Structures are given as structure tokens and as C-alpha cells.
Amino acid sequence: MAEYRAQAALREAGALLKERRQAADLSLRALAKAAEISSHSRVDDAENGRKRLADPEYQRIMDVLDLGHEEREQIMTMIRSTEGPGQLTIGPPGIGAPLAALIDHERVAVRITNVALGLIPGLLQTSDYARAILGEDSEPRVTLRSGRRDVLTRTRNPVEYYAVIDSEVLVRPVGAPDVMLDQLRYLQRMAERPNVTIQLVDSTRPGYNPLLAGSFGLLEFAKASPIVHLEHLRASVSIWDEADVQAFVEAAEYLRREVAMSPDDSVRLIAGIADGKETR
């Protein structure tokens, strides 16, 4: 499971080094030999974020690749961000390593797509909606989930976000009426953001579509390969295999382009349901 525990920043730094190595037309073995790294497999591990090399080893690799000062600083900043007390490995009390790793990847991702069958995606949940799901003694997890929304609203480089949501989710009374109304209004406000796109899938739409297979999250990065995150009642897993991930990429694109309502129609439906709740 070493690959699962890979830090997002290490994967990004490694992907950048791999890109530069390939541009220089060097094999893993040739780079390892020139940079005096004991094995080409260690270079491969570094490029894929599985292991962190020593700083001098990274410096020798960058010497061989003839990287400039600015790019060196960028790479080493990403690598060093995984060190020390700020490293996110096990998370707050009650938060396991899988969720901590997901949060780490969300912070680095440039695009996130959530396909949601049963509930509003976590990144779009209000605190009260999350509290209704997580139950009693859930305040640390509610606070954590609320903090995850920062990737959508931060001033600098907010993530490009797509949500494909089954329309039945909007009328499923997970929380009290006021909780559900606030959640719907929050979706409306978030949909106004230029980096957020919300599309609904009509739950009465005939025939099969990939949404019916279950919820998933697709995280894409500037350099590193995309990953897929799956969650169940008390378990979660990240999928890294390129062929498997590609199947989810294609499913997400198909849902957005061929199955889901347009963003404008989706927002109008959300508003209509919310307006109906207000008049009751």
C-alpha cells in the first residue's frame, strides 16, 4: 500500500521530474547512473511519488536534467512540504489516513469531479447537512469537512470543480426541512462561482447510465496522473491504475456531456425545489 500513502506533493514533484527526464531523452537507468543514484528503481519510485529521496539525490538529478533555479525551487518546495509537523498523514482525532490522504490530494488537484448518487458531495455540503449525516459526536469531522470546501473558494487558484448529482438527492430529507432548504440555497450560491459547475441527472431518466453504478471522485493534477476515490459506509479506497482510472474519466465525461442536464437547467431545478420548500 506504499503507493496509496504517496503524498500529493511528492507525486506532483515526481511527475515534473519525469517530464523533464523524458524531454531530455534519458532512460531511468541513464539518469540513475549519471546522478549517482544506487538503482534506477529508486528514480522510478521518486518520479511516481512512492518514495522520497534525500535532498542531495534530488539535486544531482536536477543537475543532470539542467534545471534552472526557479524550477529547482518549485520542485524542492513541493518535496519539503511533506516534511515536519505540517505533514498530513493521520489527520485530526478520529480521522484515518485514507481521509487525510484524500484531503492532501484535494489541496493539490487542479480539477475535481464528484459523481454523487446518494448524497450531496462532501465539498458542497453545508455544516448542518454534514452534521445530519455524521450524527452525534461528529463535530471534529464536521469541522474538517467544512474546511475542505476551501479548495473551492480560496482566492489563489481555486480548484476547477464539477459535480454530477442524481436529482433525487435534492428531495431526500437527510436533515430537517430548514437544513435541506439551506443546503439547496448553498448549492445555488456555489453554482454562481466561475470554477464550480453543478449538473443534475434526472432520477426518472430511463435506461442505464454510469451514475447508477455508484458515487466516485475523480482528482486530476497539473503533472501527476489522475486518481479516483471511492467511499463506502466504513471504507474507502483510491484507485491508481491507469486503465481503471481511464474508465472513470470516460464515465464522468459521458455523464456530463450525454446524460446530465445543462448547468443552467440544473440550477433552475435546484431553485424551483428550494422555492417550493419556502412556500410550505
Over residues 3-58, the pLDDT tens digits come to: 334 467 788 888 889 988 999 999 999 999 999 999 999 999 998 888 888 888 99
Q: Are 227 and 219 in contact (CB under 8 A)?
A: yes
**Pairing state between β 111-116 and 227-231:** unpaired
**Rounded mean pLDDT, 214-226:** 92
- DSSP labels for 116-133? ESSS--GGG--HHHHHHH
CA proximity to 12, closest of 75, 63, 104, 88? 75
Percent of the chain topping pLDDT 90: 61
Which pLDDT does position 8 carry in this prediction? 73
pLDDT in tens, 132-170: 998 877 788 788 888 889 999 999 999 999 999 999 999
User: Hey, which bits of 77-231 come out as E strands?
Assistant: 111-116, 160-166, 196-201, 216-220, 227-231
DSSP state letters, 170-203? GT--SS-HHHHHHHHHHHHHHHTSTTEEEEEE-T
pTM: 0.74
What's the pLDDT at 167? 98
Give all domains of the chain, ordered by start, each with its CATH number.
8-80 (1.10.260.40), 97-278 (3.30.870)
